[in-house]
């Protein structure tokens, strides 16, 4: 199987995440996309770990209606800083015959050489780089294009930080997140 690995804080997961994941899946003929919410990202965003279980639950709700979308709780249950290489090394024994495609945005690709063990990541997975609003397509001068694919996805100008701000200001987030995610946020009093 060809499995897309799509990690992130998903704080909260929104329609932009789903749209670009489906675009990548369809364009590359991936069998599935595995969404992996982090516990704490290496750049440590404030408050990530405190709501990790909520972020995982929202991710499950967001992808529930797409049979090609799966999730993994591997990083949330480890309860430590989430490094991509560790996640890939953990997943490989469970999927020995499968090929991994690590999905990241152009913003992350440009600093990919600063990630923990980038060369090992490139051995474990094909890097799939999506365009991002505000970033032109460039080749990372340090890693080049080794084992890297570039995929054009719609530029969806939705951000998790904007959604959190809207919730705080009691502005509608309808159509920005799936209905079940909106209901979960409101019923759990998140981002207030």
Q: What is the pLDDT of residues 89-130, one digit of tens each?
A: 999 999 999 999 999 999 999 999 999 999 999 999 999 999
Write out the residue range of the structural domain in which residue 35 sits.
Answer: 2-156
Residue 28: pLDDT band by 50, 70, 90 thresholds?
A: very high
Please indicate, yes or no, if residue 149 is contained in any of the structural domains.
yes
Which CA distances in Å does 52 have to 1, 11, 102, 104, 153? 29, 9, 21, 20, 27
What is the domain count for the chain?
Answer: 1
Given a contact cutoff of 8 angstroms between Cβ atoms, the answer to whether 161 and 14 are in contact is: no
Please indicate, yes or no, if residue 186 is contained in any of the structural domains.
no
Please indicate, yes or no, if residue 116 is contained in any of the structural domains.
yes
Question: b/e per residue, 126-140, with b = 16+ CB within 10 A?
Answer: bbbbbbbeebeeeeb
**Domain containing residue 32: CATH number:** 3.40.50.620
Please indicate, yes or no, if residue 143 is contained in any of the structural domains.
yes
Please indicate, yes or no, if residue 184 is contained in any of the structural domains.
no
Where residue 60 falls (left for φ over 0; alpha for ψ -120 to 50; beta otherwise) is: alpha
What pTM did the predictor assign? 0.94
Digit-coded pLDDT (tens) for 135-162: 888 888 888 888 999 999 999 989 999 9
């Amino acid at each position: 199987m060809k499995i897309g690995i799509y990690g992130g804080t998903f704080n909260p997961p929104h329609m932009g995440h789903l749209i670009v994941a489906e675009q990548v899946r369809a364009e590359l003929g991936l069998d599935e996309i595995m969404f992996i919410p982090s516990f704490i990202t290496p750049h440590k965003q404030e408050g990530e770990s405190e709501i990790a279980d909520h972020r995982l639950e929202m991710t499950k709700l967001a992808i529930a209606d797409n049979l090609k979308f799966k999730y993994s709780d591997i990083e949330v249950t480890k309860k430590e800083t989430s490094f991509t290489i560790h996640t890939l090394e953990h997943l490989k024994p469970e999927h020995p015959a499968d090929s991994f495609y690590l999905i990241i945005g152009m913003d992350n690709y440009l600093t990919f050489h600063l990630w923990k063990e980038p060369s090992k990541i490139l051995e474990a997975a094909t890097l799939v780089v999506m365009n991002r609003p505000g970033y032109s397509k460039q080749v990372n001068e340090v890693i080049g294009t080794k084992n890297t694919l570039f995929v054009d996805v719609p530029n969806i100008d939705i951000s998790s930080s904007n959604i959190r701000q809207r919730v705080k200001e009691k502005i509608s987030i309808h159509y920005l997140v799936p209905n079940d995610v909106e209901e979960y946020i409101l019923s759990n009093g998140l981002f207030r």
